[in-house]
Amino acid sequence: SKQASLEKHKGENLIWVEDTYSNALVGHKLGLRSIWMRNNNHPPKCADCPIIEADNWLEIYNFIMKLST
């Protein structure tokens, strides 16, 4: 499972990009910076979720670049 794989990185504050909301939430709960790639098949779950949401790779790039400055 993805949870088993992600547990190796628990608390490391790494960036985790995922297109399935439930997996992005697992990463977040393990201390990763989850970025959920939204698409038409996976509409937003809630407006105040702790997961960063992105519509495309440019948004993800811009988020990562903001972290590095």
pLDDT per residue rounded down to tens, the chain (69 residues): 789 999 999 989 899 999 888 899 899 999 999 999 987 666 665 667 788 889 899 999 999 999 877
- Burial 6-39, CB ≥16 within 10 A → b, else e: beeeeeeeeebbbeebebbbbbbebebbbbbbbe
Residue-level pLDDT at 18: 93
pLDDT tens per residue across span 38-54:
876 666 656 677 888 89
